[in-house]
Structure 1
Amino acid sequence: MKTIKIAGVPEHFNLPWQMCIENGEFEEVGINLQWTDVPEGTGKMCQMLRNNETDIAVILTEGIVKDIIAGNSSKIVQVYVQSPLIWGIHVAANSNYKKLDDLNGTKAAISRYGSGSHLMSFVNAQNQGWNTNNLQFEIVNTIEGAVDALTTHKADYFMWERFMTKPLVDNGTFRKIADCPTPWPCFVIAVRNEILEKEPHIIEHILEIINTTTEEFKYIPSIDRTLASKFNQKIEDIREWLSLTQWSQKQIDKKTIEKVQQQLFSLNIIEKIAPFEAIAK
């Protein structure tokens, strides 16, 4: 039995992995796939890949592209979710900010530097024509940290996946004032180069298993009810999320890698454009 460590956010996107593990599908081909939930998100997972604390990460595209260019010895082996991530832009329910432009020059809560909440605040600012040099940040680590930061006015707004944050909107903790979809596929599967070189067939098996599940995932009986119960969501929200979410079984293409890099470069988030082969396998 070969042990492989994998990390991802504890969100609805990753239920297919949990199901495959619980059903023993990886064990059947001699793989002990050990999943770690990482509520801190992409910045933390980049660190885990660098420190050999995980072999695989199901990670935000823009975050891992940035970190590979910065020296993370990993590669993207596949797109996991092809559809954009819809980032909700949230303020405290009692905040005086009513519309998106009110947030120009205010402080964003982010899980950590290099995370999606950090990078997408630049993308949002650029979309709005704000001066990205004026962005300010408060590191909050998790969504619970963001609740504390917004309600105690340590930060003014927080960008996080819209559907996972909606229970906090429904219960009156947050108010959503806008959406900001990623301009590229949201999640990819990244693997440390050492594992890719030593265990290429193991990685192939893992991808075959997860791809079979994601192809059929939406058609699993009562999957909407399972997701709603597991992630504290309203059934109508889960149905909308399922209708918008498209899993992928294909490698990322050169055009997408180029698009991500060009946007990050224009925002001074990366210092150079790397060749496709340096980022994806």
Structure 2
Amino acid sequence: MFSPVCYLSEQDILPDTQMARLRIGYVPEHFSTPIHFAQAHYGLDAELIAFPSGTGHMVTALRSGEIDVGIGLTEGWIAGLGRVEEQDNDGGYRLVGTYVETPLCWAISTGADRPDIASVDSLKGSKIGVSRIGSGSYVMGYVLADQHHWLLPAAANTETPPPPPYSQFVVLNTFENLRKAVNSGEADFFMWEHFTSKKYYDSGEIRRVGEIYTPWSSWKIVAATALVGKDAGAALDARVEDLFAKLDLGIKHFTEHEDEAVAYISTALDYSEEDAREWLKTVRFPEKTRGVDPAVVENTVDVLRKAGVLFEGRGMRPEVMIAKTR
């Protein structure tokens, strides 16, 4: 008697974790509109997980296995990897794609009734509110300090970093907590994206002190190291490739249907129609999201080293951070 032969496809023998829907972390702000369109109109089959506290929280979530992919701020991803010693840790994720080509305008905000803070120059040595240590709001605090020459040099012949330019980094997790903190005095100022902050300037809840632009394209896509392989030429997980294809369609839809984008941003995301239309004039998404320009990563690392966030000769090298180049 012959036993029946069972022929299994490659898909049948893959672990369940490989066949699961991607868990994608994102920030639920106006920049997320093409992600919504990719899912609503083009069949992006993924679980979208909102991280209102931003990129720093997604770094933690990727490393703990809570999400597979993150779409967040360039400086947060690169600062997170730049502090990893390659021989000890793989960092948990790699850069695989580009989500926004234009720089980000960070608004600098303080409390509505803070006469002691009259200008950006008033902020030297003050208490800066940040969402998390290592987040974009934290990193940009150092970039601001570098641009205003508040950074002190590191001591000679030592690996000890220079003293911070602020008296305290107050970790507050959410945008709401940051707004409350500058009014209570728990923090003196914080930085957050301009159009997200503008509504609260208009209402009088917080006051604008100034602004600063990132010296790099503002949003990147990262994937957990399990999805990108260990070698530079390794293939990406098929679900990540599908994500790129669907995001490209979502972006195309976004650029071709401005009224639909404005309607979504001004209802589901709680921005005014006027602010949504103004933002559309300032932002540019790529036609192809797959891949990262190494020059952008190298420039970001250079600026972060100059600002005292990263250090020459320590941490992951720029070329190791990237799993897929353009």
Name which of structure 1's ranges 71-80 and 139-148 shifts more when overlaid on structure 2.
71-80
Tell me which amino acid in the other structure corresponds to 1:236.
Answer: E
2:151–2:307 Cα contact (<8 Å) kept: no
1:265–1:273 Cα contact (<8 Å) kept: no
In structure 2, C-alpha distance between the alignment counterparts of 1:267 and 1:99, rounded to whole Å? 21
2:42–2:249 Cα contact (<8 Å) kept: no
1:252 counterpart = 2:265: no
Aligned to 2:304: 264
- Deviation per CA, 1:226-267: give whole Å up to 9, x if none: 212222222222111111111122422121111111111122
Indicate the SS of the match to 2:25.
strand
In structure 2, C-alpha distance between the alignment counterparts of 1:85 and 1:244, rounded to whole Å? 9
In structure 1, C-alpha distance between the alignment counterparts of 2:218 and 2:236, rounded to whole Å? 26
Tell me which amino acid in the other structure corresponds to 2:148.
Answer: Q
- Deviation per CA, 1:212-236: give whole Å up to 9, x if none: 2213312215122321222222222
Aligned to 2:80: 67
TM-score, normalised relative to structure 1: 0.92
Structure 1 residue 22 displacement after superposition: 3.1
1:140 counterpart = 2:172: yes
Give ranges in structure 1 of 5+ residues lacking alignment: 27-31
In structure 2, C-alpha distance between the alignment counterparts of 1:66 and 1:20, rounded to whole Å? 28
2:47 to 31, 34, 49: 34
Q: Which has the larger radius of gyration?
A: 2
Give ranges in structure 2 of 5+ residues lacking alignment: 1-18, 153-163, 230-234
Structure 1 residue 98 displacement after superposition: 1.9
TM-score, normalised relative to structure 2: 0.80
1:262–1:273 Cα contact (<8 Å) kept: no
Structure 1 residue 146 displacement after superposition: 0.7
2:111 to 92, 114, 132: 92
1:25 to 43, 51, 62: 43
Aligned to 1:154: 186
Structure 1 residue 21 displacement after superposition: 2.1
Superposition misfits of 4+ residues, deviation over 6 angstroms: none
2:237 to 181, 193, 200: 200
Name which of structure 1's ranges 150-159 and 230-239 shifts more when overlaid on structure 2.
230-239
Structure showing the higher strand proportion among its residues: 1
**Matches for 1:1-281 after TM superposition, within 5 Å:** 2-23=20-41, 25-26=43-44, 32-69=45-82, 70=84, 71=89, 72-96=91-115, 97-131=117-151, 133-135=164-166, 136-197=168-229, 200-222=237-259, 223-248=261-286, 249-250=288-289, 251-271=291-311, 272=314, 274-281=316-323
Name which of structure 1's ranges 98-107 and 215-224 shifts more when overlaid on structure 2.
215-224
2:251–2:285 Cα contact (<8 Å) kept: yes
1:66–1:269 Cα contact (<8 Å) kept: yes
In structure 1, C-alpha distance between the alignment counterparts of 2:250 and 2:318, rounded to whole Å? 28
Structure 1 residue 199 displacement after superposition: 5.6
1:167–1:232 Cα contact (<8 Å) kept: no
- Deviation per CA, 1:28-63: give whole Å up to 9, x if none: xxxx40010001111110001111110000011111
Once superposed, what is the RMSD of the aligned Cα atoms?
Answer: 1.7
